[in-house]
Structure 1
Amino acid sequence: MKSVLPAALALCATVAGAQQTGMQLWYKQPAGKVWEAALPVGNGRLGAMVYGNPGAELLKLNESTVWSGGPNRNDNPHALAALPEIRRRLFAGDYVGADSLAAANIQSEKINGMQYQPVGDLSLSFPGHEQYNDYRRELDIARAVATTTYTAGGVRYTREVFVSAPAQVIVVHLTASKPSALSFDAGFSSEQKSEITADNDGLLLTGITSTKDGVAGQVKFCAQVRVLHTGGTVQVSGQRLSVKQATAVTLLISMGTNVNNYHDLTRDEKKYVSAYINKAQQQTYAQLLAAHTKAYQQYFNRVQLNLGTTPAAELPTDERLKAFAAGNDPQLVALYFQYGRYLLISASQPGGQPANLQGIWNDKMVPPWGSKYTININTEMNYWPSEVTALPEMHMPLLQMVKELSVTGEQTAKVMYGARGWVAHHNTDLWRITGPVDPIYYGMWPMGGAWLSRHLWVHYLYSGDKQYLRSAYPALKGAAQFFLDFLTEEPTHQWLVVAPSISPENSPKSHNGKSIAAGVTMDNQLVFDLFSNVQHAAAALDTDKAFAAQVTAAKLRLPPMQIGQHGQLQEWLQDLDDPADKHRHISHLFGLYPGSQVSPFSNPALFAAARQSLIYRGDISTGWSMGWKVNWWARLLDGDHAYQLIRNQLSPVGAHDGGGTYPNLLDAHPPFQIDGNFGCAAGITEMLLQTYDGCLYPLPALPAAWKTGSVQGLRAPGGFIIKDMQWNNGRLVKLVLQSVLGGNCRLRLPAALRMQGGAVLSAASGANSNVFYATDAIKQPLVSSKALVATLPLPATQLYDLSTVKGQTYTLIAIP
């Protein structure tokens, strides 16, 4: 995909190109046997968890295409015939009957998705290193290198581990402070059906993944280790290698599978693996490290965040985590934000697979939820930071998956629902299945295509690349075609609604424990969002006017949002919300974030109702849910409450009744899910910059804890880059904008600023002329006669327009 932004991003990288400090996770003790204490490294395709154990080092190994089963489909062919009766029962209020019929005819008959699985373990045994001192283990996310150092027997030992994107190998570099002092054994192990051999070329692990739901394992995988040593000898001992009396050793680890793509398993995995390791062997360790660092930092260095530093930053990371909720450690927030970016760079690279529920790091043959792609929130949340934190390349694997689902989902739409276009339900996997997964309570959600398609449009908003938009438009249109055919008229108001569906993964008390419903608020918001994006895409490409007119007509018949009897934004079509409901999913707030349908300035009643819903649900929840809540409270312009959610998130697992964070700063659902890391990183960004309401809004939700700080490199739709933003005592004092595409830049400013260099900042009026900031008018909400409609105080701001020229930079400074 071509993009118009790389040159501008390179400029941004230059601004933020200095080595960032304080970017280390570090510990005084090894991980031992605790996976959640080990440190993740990866290059999008290859991943490892590094334990840092002196006497028995362990690397848990993953490759992104190692999944159980093989190409398959899970459509239920009985769905279409049963659909009219299911809808009749729904509209008659027979939720038990509708659920029973859907379970028998829509729920997958057998296949509920394959599992992402580990390759195996590489273990390194160091005799005599059980006794050690002066120990330190760290992950430097500014370089993407994990380092372990300690002293044993009077010798200082150092291990460095990184995963090179240019070389496509994992590199383990071992050194000793004295010549000939490095001796260890190395061996593979795996829970997979596999064979392990050792010879003078190194170690070789070959295997095939397991069967699931009757689908035979078809992924053949291979892992190879080559030993490059300075001094000493390497001997073969059974299935292990023994290194004796070396001074330095570099291990190259290459892994691969027979998977070319989701429907092609014809690659020769052994040749694939050997080609990479043979090429990497021709480089020195210094060359491998330099190439890795350069490739990684071209992404990482684009953004810097400074929230200030206190003495707490000198503590080990696990100790900082324990103290954070009650302490003063703003730099940990900056580290956690950048850790989210590190994880996205390490788990999702152009040309590869998207980050799954655990990124690429999983040590279990049967991981929680299969470590699949849960597309009713979790997969999308993984990519919320991608565009705004200057990582659009990392977005590409997800965008490619959406295009692939638009192919596999056509058959599902036709066979199950008799519809055009394509559909995906709440889960998918490497094989791009699109039928329902899991019982109806969770799986009766045909909205995955609607939400995922949003990412296609968002990438265009930030890049302005029409060539890319042309390539994405068929998938975007196909998602809309499905809903044009699938929407059905509900009998009370004759609104067009999605039926059957659910509000993930919740149910109202009146439904007798059944989640199945019609016209739930999230569905209405998603379809509104999808139809709006298709309208804008067709206009941008000057195409498909007749289809756009059909979309417009259907959009006008969607239900409005509703304010219920408790003053809340209703979750269902009927006023069924329970103020005591603390469910982790608050899906009906999609329109607040990541959607743009709830604005404090243009629809304050809905804004207040969304806040009421969030208050009822409470703060403490699972990790990803708290990450989403950071974004919601930021959109509610309440920085202090958003910061409280960050404190809750950055609490050790077990510190409260919800999720939290493990010692390695990975998110806890619990168990581990990576989405909370990405959701919270996005939320931190949302506190600093919002762009959804027709303008750029700097510092919309700055908490009192971040009185002074700066950020460089954030991006905004329409090709704007925040080259520098500084604030002091909670007041914006400097804003430097780079305009990549030109056009009007509308700013919502909390305080008066003046331009440097003669550019004119004028009071704004009317709609923003910049098409990348077009807003979509929503219907007036329906308000319950029992509701007390609140009006919330809003910060005093003023809208300004700045006419920008492509490639120019503009500086605004505070008026003394």
Structure 2
Amino acid sequence: MTTDRPGRELLYRRPSSGWLDGLPLGNGRTGAMVQASADRLHLSLNDVTAWSGGVGSATRRGAITAERAAAARAEAAALWDQGRIVAAERALAALQQDYVQAFMPFADLVLRIDGVDGPLTRRLRLRDGEHVVVAGGITQRTLVSAVDGILLHRLTADRPVEIDLSLGTRLGDPRVTASADGAVLTLALPADVAPGHEPTEPALRWRVPGVQPLTGALAVSWRHDGRLDDGQCDGPSHDGCPRLRFTGVRHLELRLATATDFDGIGRPPRGSATERATSVLAGAAALDADTLHGRHLADHRALMDRFRLDLGPATHAGCPAAPDPRPVCRDPRPGPDAPRSAPDPDARGRATDPGSAALDTDERVLAAHAHPDGPLTADPDLLALLVDYGRYLVIASSRPGGLPATLQGLWNADPRPPWSSAYTLNINTEMNLWAAGPTDLAFTADPVLDLVEALADRGADTARRLYGARGWVAHHNTDAWANTLPTAGDASWALWPMGGVWLVRQLDELRRLDAVDDAWCRRLWPVAVGATEFALDLLTERPDGSLATWPSTSPENTFATDAGPAALTRGTGMDRVLLHELAASVRGLADRLALTHPVLDELDVALPRVPGPRVAADGTVLEWDTDRPATEPRHRHLSHLMFAYPGAGPGEHAAAVAATLDQRGDDSTGWSVVWKAAVRARLGDGDRAGTLLALALRPAWDAERGPHAGGLYRNLLAAHPPFQIDGNLGLPAVVADLLASGVDGTVHLLPALPVALADAGAVGGLVVHPGIVVDLRWSQGRPTAVSLTARSDRSSGHRLVRWRDRRWLVQLTPGVRTSVPL
């Protein structure tokens, strides 16, 4: 591959219309949502460590004692045995405490350029990790480098211009100190931010007894060929500092770094945010802009190029509603007799269709959605763009040394964001990891392992006090302070104690794909053992001799009782399958590391008494302990289907899984649609998966769809609605499963290829179990060239490859690319 190969991009020829029309940049630490018009560029900045609250937030109103918790559990169990389930939930609410803290917006930098007008283009170049704006003879390039830790912005004008620069924040105690060559903005994070679903709580509080909040700093330096008229911008700055004016400028370069005094997940603040931010700038000061740019490109492109996808060109992207001179209404397909070769998997990202390139990105979404044959037929490259975008967002929002991607990744402009933009552990945080393994980005899971280690440390006390259990527990929600307590709220989500179990299972997926080394597995091992100890201690014996978790809920669904909706049961379907998935992870880790532990013997005794998936009377997968009438049969969560995806697959329960999906229906939130598509892919139902992907690709800005109908905003960020990034980050894994799978030990080629994508395509660098890299081309729905590479001895040897009823036995050698004799 050549280093100058073009990549896919998001393209717009109009100004940004708001934050959800901006374009995201990030390096896992500093995030920037870039909004641009001809005369204005706005960097809405985030820092991954900028959170409200502190280590004392979870227990700021006192901790529940072990005696009180035991009494509440005993009362709830007795009430539940009497059939008084709603009353049992009320009794168990004694375990719940408040809410988690919020991921916060950080600061804003705005450039205003006098006298600029005319046509505008703004691009987000995914392969380069760079934002480019061109308008009125002025070019502005912005990137956020992971190599050097800074945001670099360069402006070049074809004539001298005047530029105003302002810095501001909506956080507390803001002050700007400026000099001739730079400025520092300091700020304070709030001590408490209540989520919107707690309307009786103050939205923001700056002081809370027992909580030490964070402080932050934004350091910026500039280099230019003009004159700085006024660098005396010292003092408070809430709305920005408008007196920094550069005149006679043809070249302006900004370097920016963010920092807080955050010292690690679950730890109190330490150090100076200002010293950290300024030291990052100082570290890059000796390098010129071209060198910084080149270092960033080499790092970012190497990561993007690990996975290559071509789904073919747009065949008929559709016509705009009004007359438009751009050539978008032609069909670039060759005639029926014209030969067509499959795309080269090493040519990922080329602009394969000049017709679709004539449309702005949001216009492409509208046109593809309006096509009578659906978006996958109209513009398959739009789906490939979403895959590249999802991988780009993974890389931009999660890097080693940082924190995991939140509900909004690394980007948030709201001081009171939806659901605190925190970590929701009953699907969303796990979905953020789905693409890490199959698209070769395992390193982006490192921050999640850091989080899990912190949760295990704090969750041991929670397990002991609230449940009288060994090991450690995490519930449905957590934050940068590793809150492991059940939060206030409905029992269907708040009283779910299996967050740690699912996190461990999701992280273990990287071992199953041979994507991590032994040292990484040794870090996962003790937290996996602790999660298993807790899960085993949660088991109680049922009258039939089976074992079931107590308390247990099925996030976030409820069933009907005479006293109203309820969620509390013994041994939901999700808990049962999670225990079996966790056991496989612990045993796999033990085998990999040649370790033993008493918990393995306990699993051998207990697990045969824990039922796996069960089928209800109506043929669906049983969600609760028995057949219970769901209050919301079309609920967005597929909790009891996690064994089908992201677990080991539906197996003998394929028919029941399909029936459950039929009952749930297709339309839902963005992340739910993606999850349903993943399960359909595991069932080999490519066309139904394609139907669901079409819902994920629809415009979310053109009509009111209600609270549970997803799609894409103009900048292609996924709608819950509102914006949640899990739909973006989960989608690449779904497409990967359409093209190749290995969960049962056999390499399946094109196991769920939708008819709309069957014409021709290619994928390279796709990783399947047990650690085999697949490079594949197909035409007319059948593979035309396949090569496999075993990552290590663990995945080498004789491997069975299958496409429909054809089979091949291939001998794989570690690191050697081997062709399959089709």
Bin for the TM-score computed over the shorter chain: 0.7 to 0.9
**Residue 61 of structure 1: how far off its partner (Å):** 0.6
Query: What's the CA shift string for 1:474-531, capped at 9, x where partnerless?
Result: 011000011111211123x222111112111110123721222221101111111112
Residue 397 to residue 745, structure 1, CA distance change in 2 (3 Å): farther
Q: What is the TM-score normalised by the length of structure 1?
A: 0.87
Is 1:251 aligned to 2:254, yes or no? yes
Matched residue SS, 1:575? coil
**Alignment match of 2:155 (pick from 158, 174, 182):** 174
Code of the aligned partner of 2:734: G
Q: Bigger shift: 270-279 or 191-200?
A: 191-200
> What is the CA–CA distance in structure 2 between the aligned matches of 1:543 and 1:341, rounded to whole Å?
34
**Residue 621 of structure 1: how far off its partner (Å):** 0.4
Aligned to 1:69: 53
Aligned to 1:198: 178
Code of the aligned partner of 1:669: H
**Residue 288 of structure 1: how far off its partner (Å):** 1.1
**Residue 335 of structure 1: how far off its partner (Å):** 0.6
Matched residue SS, 2:119? strand
Aligned to 1:352: 402
Aligned to 2:603: 551
**Alignment match of 1:306 (pick from 305, 310, 325):** 310
**Alignment match of 2:469 (pick from 406, 419, 434):** 419
Contact 1:166 1:291 in 2 (8 A): yes
Is 1:283 aligned to 2:252, yes or no? no
Identity %: 34
Contact 1:112 1:437 in 2 (8 A): yes
Residue 285 to residue 712, structure 1, CA distance change in 2 (3 Å): same
Aligned to 2:11: 26
> What is the CA–CA distance in structure 2 between the aligned matches of 1:344 and 1:421, rounded to whole Å?
31
Query: What's the CA shift string for 1:736-760, capped at 9, x where partnerless?
Result: 111221323533412xxxxxxxxxx
**Residue 453 of structure 1: how far off its partner (Å):** 0.5
Is 1:52 aligned to 2:104, yes or no? no
Aligned to 1:806: 814
Aligned to 2:317: none
> What is the CA–CA distance in structure 2 between the aligned matches of 1:579 and 1:687, rounded to whole Å?
33
> What is the CA–CA distance in structure 2 between the aligned matches of 1:632 and 1:737, rounded to whole Å?
25
Is 1:435 aligned to 2:485, yes or no? yes
> What is the CA–CA distance in structure 2 between the aligned matches of 1:501 and 1:96, rounded to whole Å?
14
Write out aligned runs for 1:390-401 (5 A): 390-401=440-451
Matched residue SS, 2:37? coil
Q: Bigger shift: 421-430 or 314-323?
A: 314-323
**Residue 394 of structure 1: how far off its partner (Å):** 0.9
Contact 1:70 1:218 in 2 (8 A): yes
Is 1:596 aligned to 2:648, yes or no? yes
> What is the CA–CA distance in structure 1 between the aligned matches of 2:229 and 2:820, rounded to whole Å?
63
> What is the CA–CA distance in structure 2 between the aligned matches of 1:446 and 1:536, rounded to whole Å?
23
Write out aligned runs for 1:450-465 (5 A): 450-463=501-514, 465=517
**Residue 422 of structure 1: how far off its partner (Å):** 0.5
Aligned to 1:769: none
Contact 2:808 2:820 in 1 (8 A): no
> What is the CA–CA distance in structure 2 between the aligned matches of 1:813 and 1:140, rounded to whole Å?
37
Write out aligned runs for 1:688-767 (5 A): 688-707=739-758, 708-722=760-774, 724-742=775-793, 743-750=796-803
Aligned to 2:296: 292
Code of the aligned partner of 2:654: F
**Residue 803 of structure 1: how far off its partner (Å):** 3.1
**Residue 265 of structure 1: how far off its partner (Å):** 1.4
> What is the CA–CA distance in structure 1 between the aligned matches of 2:394 and 2:485, rounded to whole Å?
28
Contact 1:170 1:253 in 2 (8 A): yes
Is 1:518 aligned to 2:570, yes or no? yes
Is 1:569 aligned to 2:621, yes or no? yes
> What is the CA–CA distance in structure 2 between the aligned matches of 1:797 and 1:228, rounded to whole Å?
65
Aligned to 1:106: 95
Matched residue SS, 1:713? strand
Code of the aligned partner of 1:648: L
**Alignment match of 1:273 (pick from 272, 277, 284):** 277
Contact 2:473 2:534 in 1 (8 A): yes
**Alignment match of 1:617 (pick from 664, 678, 686):** 664
Code of the aligned partner of 1:797: D
Query: What's the CA shift string for 1:316-345, capped at 9, x where partnerless?
Result: 101011122233101111110010000000
Contact 2:789 2:813 in 1 (8 A): no
Query: What's the CA shift string for 1:138-190, capped at 9, x where partnerless?
Result: 10001000111111xxxx01111110111111111111022x23533333333
**Residue 20 of structure 1: how far off its partner (Å):** 5.0
Contact 2:217 2:273 in 1 (8 A): yes
> What is the CA–CA distance in structure 2 between the aligned matches of 1:800 and 1:593, rounded to whole Å?
26
Contact 1:579 1:617 in 2 (8 A): no
**Residue 798 of structure 1: how far off its partner (Å):** 4.8
Contact 2:671 2:726 in 1 (8 A): yes
Matched residue SS, 1:563? coil
**Alignment match of 2:639 (pick from 587, 591, 605):** 587
**Residue 211 of structure 1: how far off its partner (Å):** 2.0
**Residue 133 of structure 1: how far off its partner (Å):** 1.6
> What is the CA–CA distance in structure 2 between the aligned matches of 1:698 and 1:20, rounded to whole Å?
28
> What is the CA–CA distance in structure 1 between the aligned matches of 2:805 and 2:605, rounded to whole Å?
36
**Residue 637 of structure 1: how far off its partner (Å):** 0.8
Aligned to 1:95: 85
> What is the CA–CA distance in structure 2 between the aligned matches of 1:457 and 1:474, rounded to whole Å?
13
Aligned to 1:3: none
> What is the CA–CA distance in structure 1 between the aligned matches of 2:130 and 2:555, rounded to whole Å?
39
> What is the CA–CA distance in structure 2 between the aligned matches of 1:353 and 1:433, rounded to whole Å?
14
**Alignment match of 1:504 (pick from 547, 555, 569):** 555
Query: What's the CA shift string for 1:350-374, capped at 9, x where partnerless?
Result: 1111101000100111110000000
> What is the CA–CA distance in structure 1 between the aligned matches of 2:769 and 2:613, rounded to whole Å?
26
Is 1:149 aligned to 2:149, yes or no? no
Contact 1:460 1:466 in 2 (8 A): no
> What is the CA–CA distance in structure 1 between the aligned matches of 2:281 and 2:367, rounded to whole Å?
44
> What is the CA–CA distance in structure 1 between the aligned matches of 2:283 and 2:518, rounded to whole Å?
37
Aligned to 2:677: 630
Contact 1:164 1:292 in 2 (8 A): yes
Query: What's the CA shift string for 1:529-550, capped at 9, x where partnerless?
Result: 1122112222333322543121
Q: What is the TM-score normalised by the length of structure 2?
A: 0.87
Aligned to 1:158: 139
> What is the CA–CA distance in structure 1 between the aligned matches of 2:283 and 2:612, rounded to whole Å?
59
Code of the aligned partner of 1:318: D
**Alignment match of 1:208 (pick from 172, 188, 206):** 188
**Alignment match of 2:76 (pick from 86, 99, 109):** 86
Query: What's the CA shift string for 1:210-267, capped at 9, x where partnerless?
Result: 1217464511100011111124445325444111111100111111011121214112
Is 1:669 aligned to 2:720, yes or no? yes
Contact 2:16 2:36 in 1 (8 A): yes
> What is the CA–CA distance in structure 2 between the aligned matches of 1:799 and 1:81, rounded to whole Å?
60
> What is the CA–CA distance in structure 2 between the aligned matches of 1:107 and 1:690, rounded to whole Å?
41
Tell me how many residue pairs correspond in the alignment: 736
Contact 1:387 1:395 in 2 (8 A): no
Contact 2:228 2:244 in 1 (8 A): no
Contact 2:28 2:48 in 1 (8 A): yes
Matched residue SS, 1:562? coil
> What is the CA–CA distance in structure 1 between the aligned matches of 2:141 and 2:688, rounded to whole Å?
40
Query: What's the CA shift string for 1:687-733, capped at 9, x where partnerless?
Result: 112221222212111011112100011112333212x2000100011
Code of the aligned partner of 1:637: G
Unaligned runs of at least 5 residues, structure 2: 195-207, 234-240, 315-354, 372-377
Aligned to 1:230: 225
Aligned to 2:107: 120
Code of the aligned partner of 1:308: G
Is 1:329 aligned to 2:379, yes or no? yes
Matched residue SS, 1:556? helix
Contact 1:41 1:162 in 2 (8 A): yes
